[in-house]
Amino acid sequence: MAQQSRGPSILLVFADQMRGRDMGCAGNPEVRTPALDALAADGVRATHCYATVPVCTPNRASLLTGLYPTTHRTVGNDLPLAAAFDTIGNVAADAGYRTGYVGKWHLDGVPRSRFTPPGPRRQGFDFWASYNCTHDYFTTQYFRDEPEAIVQQRYEPEVQTDLAEEFLTGLDDDDAFLLALSWGPPHDPYDMVPERFREQYSPEDVTLPPNVVTATDNPLADGLDTRRTIADYYAAITALDEQFARLTRTLERLGRRDDTIVVFTSDHGDMLWAHGWMKKQLPYEESVHVPLIVRAPGDLPAGTTFESPVATVDLAPTILALAGLPVPPAMEGTDVSGPLRGEGDGLSSVFLGNTAVMDEAVRQNASEWRAVRTERYTYAEVPGRKPWLLFDNDTDPWQRTNLIDEPAHEQTRLGLAHELGAFLERVGDPFLPTEELIDHVGMREAWDARQRGFDAVGPTPADV
């Protein structure tokens, strides 16, 4: 094994719009994920990990900064993350780590085709092979250090994994590194998956969850066949699993497997007709529950599960602590590295929310909300501190019975409402409607730019 002069290296891999339950190791027998199952067998799988904000830009910012959205201010998609905040990239770079970012970025505002030049807008990442945001998975685009995009007519996750391997093979044996790899799938378009993976999943073999409601005039489901779409979604996950296996083999070949912390997660989930909804921005499990598997050889107990709730805002401080790197005191997420090791108690609850209504939330008439998720309960409110949802996830795992007005659950509701209020106060979240919050966090100019559209010509955000 290569000997390092510094602490463990870090490989952070995250998918886009992948639900936490859709892996073999998470109990879904219909989706094939042998590489991720092997990672879980060799590490810790968090059974209750949640997207702090179940939509791309705000959650990616929380994941990298360890801050809640009202602090990092990117409360909606396509708002730029300021370079003033510490990220895991900055911290690792300051500690002498080689840092790299490959794949979807979605943290540099509009247009989505925007070039992010070398410098502070890259948030501490040096090696760069990234594109702000695109979902054409058969036409891969990425920027290096020049403002001309590189285009390859190949499946995007394959190209991105090639680029990740380029970074890894360019390291010296004693280099500590942080590599973040962000894949676009299984985010829609659902059928944009190579045929060899689609052929592995027959729509007739898909078991529809009991909370799926397909008799809906939801515009986001227009023209989609439910079983074929879910089969394609599974196919995309299996395609990613194959690329993850490649990364595992590369680490082993380079002698870096045993000195690298590996983290796999997603930035949010996907409703896929659950309760009649599509996509995300909702407090239901399909939207907020995401995978989290962490392998740290010699540190974390292999083949275990972690039952306490954890949120994506907690990942930055936790990853830094596992690597022995300093956790910036301004980070608001909680370092749960000790509980992951089996040392001490985990969190009793996490704070989640949809801070800005946009795009598919507008088209589905969804609201802003804030929520508390404990190991057992989901409790959510809408602006004005109005109670909205209460689910007992132990007795009702498909969340089909809203207990918010049930007298028998009044004390539970009151206790969770108090806990939510404490989170709002601690985080400094005023829980305002979207337009008021945009002004409150000082993002009016950037928000108006994203609302006018991603590019001078082409679709507006609500059309994408």
What is the reported pLDDT for 409?
98
Taking 90 as the threshold, does the pLDDT of residue 299 lie above it? yes
CATH topology of domain 352-463: Arylsulfatase, C-terminal domain (3.30.1120)
Q: Could you tell me how many helices (H) and strands (E) the chain has, helices first? A: 14, 16
Fold equal for 9-348 and 352-463: no
Q: What is the pLDDT of residues 185-227, one digit of tens each?
A: 999 999 999 999 999 999 999 999 999 998 777 889 888 999 9
Q: Taking the mean position of all CA atoms in its chain, how far away is CA 409?
A: 32
What is the reported pLDDT for 219?
83
What is the reported pLDDT for 161?
98
| 117-135 average pLDDT score | 97
Taking 80 as the threshold, does the pLDDT of residue 461 lie above it? no
Which string of DSSP letters, residue by residue, matches 21-56? T-SGGGT-TTS--HHHHHHHHTSEEESSEE-SSSSH
Positions annotated as catalytic residues are 56, 106
Element (H, E) at 211: none
What is the reported pLDDT for 393?
98
**Into which CATH architecture does domain 9-348 fall?**
3-Layer(aba) Sandwich (3.40)
What is the reported pLDDT for 301?
97
The pairing of strands 292-295 and 44-46 is antiparallel
Taking 80 as the threshold, does the pLDDT of residue 421 lie above it? yes
Band of residue 7 on the pLDDT scale cut at 50, 70, 90: confident
Query: Quick one: CA torsion of 294, 287, 132, 315, rounded to 10 degrees?
Result: -30
Comparing CA positions, the residue from 93, 111, 79, 100 lying closest to residue 144 is 100
Query: Quick one: CA torsion of 114, 116, 120, 121, rounded to 10 degrees?
Result: 40
Domain ranges of the chain: 9-348, 352-463
Q: What is the pLDDT of residues 12-43, one digit of tens each?
A: 999 999 999 999 999 999 999 999 999 999 99
Amino acid sitting at position 418 = H
Taking 50 as the threshold, does the pLDDT of residue 147 lie above it? yes
The tokens of 104 are what? Answer: 């979807």
Counting residues of the chain whose pLDDT is more than 70, the rounded percentage is: 96
Taking 80 as the threshold, does the pLDDT of residue 435 lie above it? yes
Taking 70 as the threshold, does the pLDDT of residue 3 lie above it? no
